[in-house]
Amino acid sequence: MKILHLVAGELNGGAARGAYWLHTALRNENTDSSVLTNARDIRGYDFVDSIANSGLDRVKVAVLRRIGRAPIRLYRHREDVAFNTGFDGIDITRHPAYASADLVHLHWVNGLVGMGALRKIKKPVIWTLRDMWPMTGGCHQSLGCERYRDACGQCPQLGSTREHDLTRLVVRRKERALPSHMRVVGISRWLSEGARQSTLLGRFPVATIANCVDTKAFTPVEKSRAKQALGLGEDRKVLLVGAQNVASVYKGFDLFLEALEKLDRNAVQVLLFGNRTGSIPKSLGIPSNNLGFLTDSDSLRVAYSAADVFVAPSRADAFGKTLVEAMLCGTPVVCFNATGPKDIVDHHETGYLAEPFSPQDLADGIQWVLDQRVEAYATMSRIAKERAKQRFDSRVIAKQYLELYREIMRSAES
């Protein structure tokens, strides 16, 4: 059985990273797995090919991306959030990697797979949802809008008041393109439930299989050593906040800032990592360190280990990979009891699930973790590590996918 994973974006990004870890775990289980991407740099990644290997190929990808984004520019009052039409991408059925595959596994595919080509796929197909885009008319997170349940239109993110707008066109185009034999997998119960209720994906079988994490890459560093390595003092508790793009409205950093106002500023310090951290207010009113965008696991595990609590204030998160990584390093997590993260944290056992989306309860959760006695904190740290490994280890998740692959292949043969 040969599996072809289709993964857009650089492979050190959030969604692509989870897909690559799955691919690696499958190969460790003696499964013939390969990845096709549009990443510019695939050095150091095994059994990966890219449609953007040459300079000419990269120009083609860039041109297709501009074509795909052109209709969005007609909406001058659109919000500054990620939005894709699915008009760009290649005809995957013409690529040599498709010809040799037994099963096609879609992940985050924007800019890689043209939606119009999906209907040509005659092989078994799984689409793992790594955000809401496969079920919407273009947004990656609906942020409370439920129009994806009724074919979109009047899109608030586009600033549209028309029923038959770009999002309705995208939904109808996706409807015609989606293979009838496709299976859908949500990486959280929240995503799976959204898929079942959506116009686009409600007709397909939907399963839930969590994102996988390379648990061997995230192990604790002794806390005092980690703090010393990052130049952090021992006199204040460390609050860590980080994401691929912490400035994104999805990540809720503004809610964290509000929560920070409700804490004793003489008792805490903030540690930040991620893209666009420069857009965060330079002075938080308390000591803070900005680590920038961290791409290697060693740097991340030092940051996680140095923290007394990892704060994940996301409004919408498909899963919450950084939460799992923090827990593997023995750091309790405070997040909202919503979207993907609510599947990861066990309230008062591995962290705190705050009322969505209350800055006050987020602050209460942070304080609750910081107030734990040494023995209780050590127990919470140990349980966090154990449960993260039991639930999200790459090998555990790979076996769940292998079971699904075999079921799909048996159905295709019958």
Q: In which residue ranges of the chain is pLDDT below 50?
A: none
Question: Residue ranges of the alpha helices (H) in 54-143?
Answer: 55-69, 96-99, 115-118
CB atoms within 10 A of CB 386: 13
Contact of 332 with 312, CB cutoff 8 Å: no
Q: Domains (ranges, CATH) in the chain?
A: 2-212+394-413 (3.40.50.2000), 223-392 (3.40.50.2000)
Torsion-angle region of 44 (φ positive above 0: left; ψ -120 to 50: alpha; else: beta):
left
Beta-ladder partners of 336: 354
First to last CA, the chain: 16
User: pLDDT digit string (tens) for 302-324?
Assistant: 999 999 999 999 999 999 999 99
pLDDT at residue 134 in the model: 98
Q: Amino acid identity of 305?
A: S
Nearest to 333 by CA among 311, 354, 305, 349: 311
Burial of 247 (0-12, 13-18, 19+ CB in 10 A): middle
User: pLDDT digit string (tens) for 189-239?
Assistant: 999 999 999 999 999 999 999 999 989 999 999 999 999 999 998 899 999
pLDDT at residue 246 in the model: 74
**For residues 164 and 154, what is the distance between their CA atoms, to the nearest angstrom?**
7
Radius of gyration for the alpha carbons in the chain, expressed in angstroms and rounded: 21
Query: What's the pTM?
Result: 0.93
pLDDT at residue 278 in the model: 56
